[in-house]
Amino acid sequence: MSFWNYINVGFEHVVPWGYDHILFIVSLFFLNSKIKTAFIQCTVFTFAHSTTLALVTLGYIPWNAAWVETVIALSIVFVSFENLFQPRLKAARLLLIFFFGLIHGMGFASALRGVGLPPNDLVLGILGFNLGVEIAQLLLIASCYLFIARWFSNKIWYQTKLVNPISLIISGIAFFWVIERFLIQ
């Protein structure tokens, strides 16, 4: 597989097939809908998930896919629910995002391994896949900003009529996934 193919696999793992990842990134964005805040959170998340993606794919860290998928769903519940009560970025949230990023990286490694990564393509595969994931994340943040926040974030009703309901819906979907994934184990 070529480098570009790995980029495509990483991108498609998020958009359009990574519903859980999409909801996580959207939840990060809706903390306060400032693009700078979203990029800060995404950078912390990226650093963490890139680390475990590489370490798990290279075989340095064992993981349980069912447990990882359940915790990923829990991370979405937590971050989206926190949006209801937290109007700005705090250091504690960044630490949680880092921890959740470590877990999400294990999920990404599972997806990358599912592609059938040959031993001679490990580094190329990890870099390409990760780049594809990052491009998808940045596209999601930019889309949320351009299509929603740019037009509505200065409205008095933005938090109560848009962010809170969206965050509650995301929490509900993710909570369903937690139960579903926990029962499958």
pLDDT in tens, 51-95: 999 999 888 998 888 899 999 999 999 999 999 988 788 889 999
- Give the per-residue pLDDT at 117: 79
Residues 6+ apart with CB under 8 A from 55: 61, 105
Joined tokens for residue 32? 């306060």
Rounded CA Rg of the chain = 16
Q: What is the mean pLDDT of the chain?
A: 92
Q: Residue 120: which pLDDT band, with cuts at 50, 70 and 90?
A: confident
pLDDT of residue 156: 95
**How many angstroms separate the Cα of 33 from the Cα of each of 29, 47, 68, 145?**
5, 21, 28, 7
Q: What is the pLDDT of residue 76?
A: 97
- pLDDT tens across 149-181, in order? 999 999 999 999 999 999 999 999 999 999 999
| Phi and psi angles of residue 184, each rounded to the nearest 5 degrees, phi first | -75, -25
Whether the Cβ atoms of residue 139 and residue 15 lie closer than 8 Å to each other: yes
CB 97 within 8 A of CB 39: no
pLDDT at 21: 94
pLDDT at 18 over 80: yes
The stretch 99-111 carries a mean pLDDT of 93
